[in-house]
Structure formats: structure tokens, C-alpha cells
Amino acid sequence: MALKIYNDCLKKVIRPARYLGNEPNAVRKDWRGVDVRVALAFPDIYEIGMSHLGSRILYEVVNGLEWALAERIYAPWVDMEECLRGRGILLQSIESRRPLADFDIVGFSIQHELVYTTVLNMLDLGGVPLTADRRSGWDTPLVIAGGPCAFAPEPVAPFFDVVVPGDGEEAIVRLMEAYRRFRSSGRGRSDLLVHLATENDGFYVPSLYRFSYGKGPVVTGVEKLHPSVPDTVKKNLVKDIEGAGYTPAPIVPLIEIVHDRPVLEIRRGCGQGCRFCQAGMTSRPVRERSADRLVLAASSMLSSTGCDSISLLSLSTGDYSGIGELLVKLGNEARTRRATISLPSLRVETLLSWGDRAMAALKKGGLTLAPETGSDRLRAIINKSSSSEELIEAAGKIYASGWRSIKLYFIIGLPTETEEDLESIARLARRVSLSRRDVDGKDGAVSLSISYFVPRPHTPFQWRPMEEMDVLSGKRSRLSDILRKSRSKVRFHDLGMSFLEATLARGDRRMADVVLGAWRRGCRLEPWSDMFDLRKWMEAFADSGLDPGDYAGAAPGYGDVLAWDHIDTGLRKDFLISEDRKADDAIMTGDCVSGECSLCGVCASFDAKNVIATEKTLNVKR
């Protein structure tokens, strides 16, 4: 009966294909033939979740085990949620239509802070108690969190049994093996949690710690509730991704999704050291796949999906060693299948080194560059090595190679930013447009995407405040006026969203009450602008007695203990302090792959190293 009612809901919603399943390459296993059942829960709608590479990798890894299965669950849109709640139906998985509560493990991939309320909404819709202290025994799922927000998890820590920072593909297997062993032996759920926290690196169990706080993100005391839990929890690190999962047969969606093509991860980690970038810091060291392996993977993906395009992915794709040679090889493979290659945003100076054959291999749509600032001065402060002149040279090369439009990413509100820095954004965009004239006498199409500086944990700028909203609003207005004359297309990120991201990113466990209060006021699916309501969040902060400005605008001291310091990324604190101080003098630190070691501490902490494709001796035969 429940299945019939669920199917009735599909007749009443927009895009019912979000919930149908039955896509090519989806895996369906017999529940009676496995020991551990995992729900990969993505706290956004199907079109976003299906585009997430990390979830695809975990799906492949778990379903590759004979004794386990993984199924997908995405957040329903509001029309589907209304139907489910109105008819008393629990949120179900795509593959088997099983309720979330039926799974042994529910794993959320949390990509950014604005999905926190959606996590709670999915748990509630799925019949799972919201907080870890209300789950006991083996009859309720073990709820775990991974993704970028696992590096600063305290605002949602009470809602999770286990937090898994860092790379997930090896960690999830270790966790599942422990779950299987403890449950079959008759030991309790609490025994499993203590085991994960005390006898394994990479698993943070929030219920085994209690914190006391000062103002904002400052921690004044930590009480360990079990004598053997560690002071800090190390991130999970796959030291060489050559053989790591790459989803040779990705699921083919039934409807158009955000990234509607197979995604090939060519590189993990970044050695540039941009001082505002959390991903670049927490994903160290750099690990590359060999070109031969990547060509094989691309061939498999294109064959198994029938797609006519494949996208290369990494934090800095252009920094892949031997990128020109790789693009030529992939281009040859793609042409045999009448396919093209797409790239994410690129670093200017690496693009300048590419040959014509490498440029010719790419899909001629729009190309994205990320100068971040309009001035060389501010670029040095954030440790971005490219110059404005290099950007203009690169733009000319792009137009000459057949592209007709360029997208530029910028950030405003960065430390030490001046009026001149704002004005330089418009001048730089205009110069990029004019660089096409030498090709065909026309102005190039240039679009700008502008976001706001958000101070992130585990970065050199974690001690810097976010500027107040009225100041940033004024900068946005001034820049809008300047750009209006340039005829460039401009899109600003929502300022309220950025303020909330900064607040939650630097939050502590007291903020869990705020998240819960915002959800109870109806907040969910908040990355979507028509769903976001900052007013409800401010009401939740007021009810909890917390001032969001104490977090977003905080400027803690170097000696303070911060709400995320117990998550160990391997980065030495004195390295982060040194980088923050260098910023004041615009002193740059070189890329640790192409230059000298920056002594960040990660390689020493994990007995790891940068793994570079051109140094690999692996010869993959075709």
C-alpha cells in the first residue's frame, strides 16, 4: 500500500523522474544477500546530488563489496515533501524504495553549511531520530557525516554518531567492517562507537567529547568522556589515488542534471596555498593519476554511458603535471567516440604553457578563469601567483583558439581590500573583452561571478573577520555601478547566504540549537535562493542567545583554541600563522609541487608525499 501511495505522489509532482530510479548503470542488490546496507544521503535535490563525484565513488566502492549494498537518497523538492508528509510516507531510497530508517548506516555528504537544515529534514522525513542521543541499539541507523564540513563539524555534531573527515573511499570500508563485526558478535552500538574513536584514525565521535566556550568560536575547555579518546582526530588520507575508485560505469540520469556528463578526477589536492581556500589546504598533499590510467578511465566512462562529453576535475586542473600531453591523449580518445572534453576553472599561468594541440582538444563553449581579484597587489596577499598581464595574454590565446566567451571568478571583501581593488575588477574585465579584437576585431563576451570572502577553518585566514554586511553591501553596489558601464554580465552571490556560511563555518556545538530552530521554522533546501530566508535564521539565533556577528566577524588570537582545532588536517599551526602574517606584507609562498616544500606539515604528519603523474613508472597496457 505504501508503495502505491508513493507512486501516487509521483503523479502530482514536477520532475517525477527525480524519484523514479531505474537509470542505466544503477546497482540493485538483494537486501537478503548482504550484511550491511548503506544509504548515501545527499542533502540536496537529485540534479545536484547526481552531479557529485564523491557520492559516485562511494556508490561504486560499497557496491563492489559482496557483503554490502549502497543506495541513493536525495532531498525531495517541496512538492514531494508535502505529499510524503500529507500521506504519512517515509522518505525512500531510489533503488529499492526502502525508507531511510531501514538502512544500517546513513551517510551524509555535507558540501557546505547551507544544507544543515536539509540534513535534519531528510532524517525526519526518513523516520530517523534527529540526534545521536536518541538512537540506541542496532534498530536505528548509524548516522555519519563526511565532506568538506566534516573538517569543522561542531554546529551539527549532536546530529551525527560519527564524523569522517577527509577521503572517504577507504574510511567507509573500515567503518562498515567494524559495524559488521560488532553487530554479529553481539556487542553493543556504544562499544562500536568507542572502538571507532579510540582504535582507529579518522573517526570523530562527538558524543565522547564535551566543550566549554568563550565568545564566538573560541574554546575554553575540552572534556573527554572516555579515557582513551584522542585529543585530536586525524583526517583520512588516500596516499595514492592511482587505483582509487573512478566510477568506470557512472549512472546515467533520466533527466538533465547540473554536470550532465561523466566526471574524471585527474588530481586530488593542491599545492598552491591560496590563503582563503579551505579545500586547497585540507586536501593536501597533491596526488595525481597517470595519463595512461586516465585515458583508460575516460574510454570506459564514454563507452558505458554513451555521453558525448567528459569533464576533467580537480581543484586546479591546469596544474596537473603534463597537462598538455594528457589533453592531447584524451582528445584523441574522445574523437574516436565523437566526444569532447570540458574543464572547470583554470589557473592563468598554466594555460599559457599549453600547446595548440592541447587547446584544440577542448570543447569550444565558454572557458572559466579564476583571477579572484582585479589587482596584482591583492592577488599577492591571497597568494595567487598569476598577474593581470598574464590573464590578458591567456584571454587572447583563448579567443584565438576558437572560444568566444570567458567567465571570470572574483572575490570581494578580502583582507586589506581597497576602493582601487574594486575598480580594478572592472578594468580587468574590460581588458579581457578587448583582447579578442586582435583575433577578429570584435569584443569578447565576458561574464563575472562575484562572491564574498568567507573566513574558513584550517586556512591562514581563519583568524580574519568577515566584513560586516552593510560594508559588503556597499561594495556590491559600488562595483555594480562600475560594471554597468562595461556591459559585462555580472552575477553576485547572495550576501545573506555568505554571511550565514561564515557564521556556521566558524560555529561551535552551541549552534546546533540554532540549526534545529531554523529547521523548525521551515528552513530547508537553502542553497536555492527562493528557499533561503535569513530572517528565520536570525530568529533562531535570538532564541538561542547567540549573536551571529560574534562568529562571522570574529578575529580570534593565534593562541586561542578554535572550535575546529580537534580535527587534525596535518597542517602545522605555525605554518598557518606564518602564512597569515606573510599576507600583511604581500609575501608569496610558492607552489609546493613545482617549487620548494612549504613545510606545512601534512606530508610529515601522514608519512605521505606529493604523487606526480610524470614521475610515475606505471605502464598501463591497453
pLDDT in tens, 425-454: 999 999 999 999 988 888 888 999 999 999
Taking residues 443-472, report their average pLDDT: 96
pLDDT in tens, 48-58: 999 999 999 99
- Indicate the pLDDT class of residue 621, thresholds 50, 70 and 90: very low
Question: Residue 163 gets which letter from DSSP?
Answer: E
Kindly report the backbone phi and psi dihedral angles of residue 208, in degrees, each rounded to the nearest multiple of 5, phi listed first. -95, 10
Q: Round the average pLDDT of the chain to a whole number and report it.
A: 92
- Indicate the pLDDT class of residue 300, thresholds 50, 70 and 90: very high
How many Å apart are CA 89 and CA 46, to the nearest integer? Answer: 19
What dihedral do alpha carbons 533, 537, 540, 545 form, nearest 10°?
-150
Taking residues 214-243, report their average pLDDT: 95
- Render the burial of 22-47: b for 16+ CB within 10 Å, e for the rest: ebeebbebeeeebbbbbbbbbbbbbb
CB within 8 Å of 289: residues ≥ 6 apart: 241, 242, 246, 265, 266, 267, 297, 613
Helix boundaries (H) for 306-375: 323-336, 348-351, 356-360
Please tell me the predicted confidence (pLDDT) of residue 601: 96
- Indicate the pLDDT class of residue 34, thresholds 50, 70 and 90: very high
Please tell me the predicted confidence (pLDDT) of residue 124: 98
Taking residues 345-363, report their average pLDDT: 69
DSSP letters, 165-205, are: -B--HHHHHHHHHHHHHHHHHT--HHHHHHHHHHSSTT-B-
Min mean pLDDT across 37-41, 63-67, 218-222, 400-404 is at: 400-404
How many Å apart are CA 84 and CA 91, to the nearest integer? Answer: 7
Share of the chain above pLDDT 90, in %: 77
Task: Look up residue 539 and give its three cell numbers.
Answer: 530568529
Please tell me the predicted confidence (pLDDT) of residue 316: 85
Task: Look up residue 21 and give its three cell numbers.
Answer: 530510479
Omega of the bond leading into 285 within 30 degrees of 0 (cis): yes
Please tell me the predicted confidence (pLDDT) of residue 397: 87
Name the residue with cell 599549453.
Answer: 354
Please tell me the predicted confidence (pLDDT) of residue 78: 96
Is the pLDDT at 349 greater than 80, yes or no?
Answer: no
pLDDT in tens, 545-578: 999 999 999 999 999 999 999 999 999 999 999 9
Is the pLDDT at 149 greater than 60, yes or no?
Answer: yes
Taking residues 228-248, report their average pLDDT: 90
Domain 2-234 shares a fold with domain 246-345+353-363+592-622: no
Is the pLDDT at 622 greater than 70, yes or no?
Answer: no
Taking residues 243-262, report their average pLDDT: 86
- Indicate the pLDDT class of residue 536, thresholds 50, 70 and 90: very high
Taking residues 10-24, report their average pLDDT: 91
- Indicate the pLDDT class of residue 323, thresholds 50, 70 and 90: confident
Min mean pLDDT across 134-148, 368-382, 446-460, 479-493 is at: 479-493
Angle between helices 2-10 and 78-87 (to 10 degrees): 150
Name the architecture of domain 246-345+353-363+592-622: 2-Layer Sandwich (3.30)
CATH 3.40.50.280 fits 2-234, yes or no: yes
DSSP letters, 96-114, are: T--BGGG-SEEEEE--SGG
Is the pLDDT at 358 greater than 80, yes or no?
Answer: no
How many Å apart are CA 267 and CA 242, to the nearest integer? Answer: 10
Which of 51, 21, 38, 154 is CA-nearest to residue 107? 38
How many Å apart are CA 166 and CA 163, to the nearest integer? Answer: 10
Please tell me the predicted confidence (pLDDT) of residue 615: 76
Taking residues 249-268, report their average pLDDT: 90
Please tell me the predicted confidence (pLDDT) of residue 38: 98
pLDDT in tens, 56-66: 999 999 999 99
How many Å apart are CA 134 and CA 591, to the nearest integer? Answer: 47
Please tell me the predicted confidence (pLDDT) of residue 203: 98
- Beta bridge pairs of residue 409: 449
Is the pLDDT at 311 greater than 80, yes or no?
Answer: yes
Whole-model pTM: value is 0.95
Helix boundaries (H) for 220-322: 278-282, 291-305
What dihedral do alpha carbons 323, 325, 327, 328 form, nearest 10°?
170
Please tell me the predicted confidence (pLDDT) of residue 5: 63
Cβ–Cβ under 8 Å, residues 79 and 100: no
Please tell me the predicted confidence (pLDDT) of residue 620: 37
Q: Domain spans of the chain?
A: 2-234, 246-345+353-363+592-622
CB within 8 Å of 44: residues ≥ 6 apart: 74, 75, 115, 118, 525, 527
- Indicate the pLDDT class of residue 617, thresholds 50, 70 and 90: very low
Please tell me the predicted confidence (pLDDT) of residue 619: 38
